[in-house]
Amino acid sequence: MRPDTPAENVDHTTEAARLERTADLYPEDAEALLLRAAAHRELSGDRPAATALYDRLLASSQELDDPYLVRALKASNLWEYGHEAEARAIITGIRTAAPRDAAPWVIVAESLESHDELEQAHETFTEAVRLLLTGVEAPPRATHPLLFGRHRVRRMLGAAHDEWDALADTVHTLPITLDELHDPKRVWSLGSENPVELEAEIVRLRAELGAYREALSRPFPVAVLHWPAGELAELTEAYPSLAEEYPSYEEHLAAIEAALRELAASGTPNLGIVTGTVPSYEAFAASELASPADPTLLPQYATTLAARGRAVAWPPERSAACWCGSGRAYGECHGAD
């Protein structure tokens, strides 16, 4: 689904079926594709079908990149159509396993919160924050929803601000403060007959909705194609005509960073990088009845990889590993000013 496609115009059942067919064609990308398909099944109201897709992934012989994320999504979905006991058991298992990724924690904590289990939600958010952020100088972007969720639940519980709430305030970037966004009394304003109060509440709700959309969206990225050094050497040796596109490996890397920075400067959102391999590219060319030596095929190949969930978001955080694979931090490599 392209980011410019209005959500209300999406046929979720059709889109889920398309993604499931694509997963059959590309089993190596099944995890990303079936997770998106399951989300569409949930949005269509077919929650049992979504559970079947989560079970398909968990039963797969292929090792999952993030099994706890799949389990968390399954638990959240199960609870929504009456399987509370099973959902709770899965949530307990995830908390016991203590994964080092923020996403499963966010999903299970918000599931507890949405079912008015505020104390349990608070405990879950707090466990995750302590596990992932203790001793961390700057909270990674992926952990921000943990801080915001914990802040929100504590406001609902009437708890006083603590150091983690203060940290949430520092990473919050919207003009409306977290205290305003998470104020339990805000709901009272919706019943006001005062136009000024109603307008102020609409502004707050729009800001909050924007934050949720940013956190939950999984848009189709504008992706630039990256070839690792060995793959690029094999590619240009097999197809010499592509050497004009890639004069050297160093120029290839520099061109990727320059292109992404230019796109970012022009206001293009959702940028990413996909990594190519020669066998995959040749298979793609064969499926298109085209020659791998045709340079116009390269952007189509990048788009196809992105559609299969292979894109990695750009830019990385400055302290994260650089996308080029050098092993250095992005801020000390291609992200250097």
Instruction: Return mean pLDDT, the chain.
Output: 86
pLDDT digits (tens, 9 = 90+) for 177-215: 888 778 776 645 555 566 666 566 556 555 554 444 444
**Segment 134-142 mean pLDDT:** 89
Pair of tokens at residue 54 = 């989560």
**DSSP for 181-223, written as a single string:** HT-TTHHHHTT---HHHHHHHHHHHHHHHHHHHHHH--PPPEE
Pair of tokens at residue 226 = 């990256």
* 3-state class percentages of the chain: helix first, strand second, coil last, to nearest 5: 65, 5, 30
- The pLDDT, as a whole number, for residue 2 is 31
pLDDT digits (tens, 9 = 90+) for 290-337: 999 999 999 999 988 888 878 888 999 888 899 999 999 999 999 987
Return the beta strands (E) in 87-146 as ranges: none
pTM over 0.75: no
Using pLDDT thresholds of 50, 70 and 90, give the confidence band for residue 137. Answer: confident
Using pLDDT thresholds of 50, 70 and 90, give the confidence band for residue 156. Answer: confident
- The pLDDT, as a whole number, for residue 298 is 94
- The pLDDT, as a whole number, for residue 211 is 47
- The pLDDT, as a whole number, for residue 216 is 41
Residue with structure tokens 């949720």? 212
Whether residue 10 is predicted with pLDDT greater than 90 in this model: the reply is no
Question: For the ranges 142-156, 167-181, 252-266, which has the lowest average pLDDT?
Answer: 167-181
Distance CA 133, CA 147 (A): 10
Residue with structure tokens 């909050």? 208
Pair of tokens at residue 237 = 């040796």
Whether residue 17 is predicted with pLDDT greater than 60 in this model: the reply is yes
CA 304, distance to chain mean position in Å, is: 18
Whether residue 102 is predicted with pLDDT greater than 70 in this model: the reply is yes
Distance CA 151, CA 113 (A): 12
Distance CA 20, CA 159 (A): 45
3-state secondary structure 243-298: HHCCCCHHHHHHHHHHHHHHHHHCCCCCEEEEECCHHHHHHHHHHCCCCCCCCCHH
Count, in order, helices (H) and strands (E) of the chain. 16, 3
312-313 and 271-275 strand pairing: antiparallel
pLDDT digits (tens, 9 = 90+) for 18-59: 999 999 988 989 999 999 999 999 989 999 999 999 999 999
pLDDT digits (tens, 9 = 90+) for 223-272: 899 999 999 999 999 999 999 999 999 999 999 999 999 999 988 888 99
Q: Percent of the chain having pLDDT more than 90?
A: 62
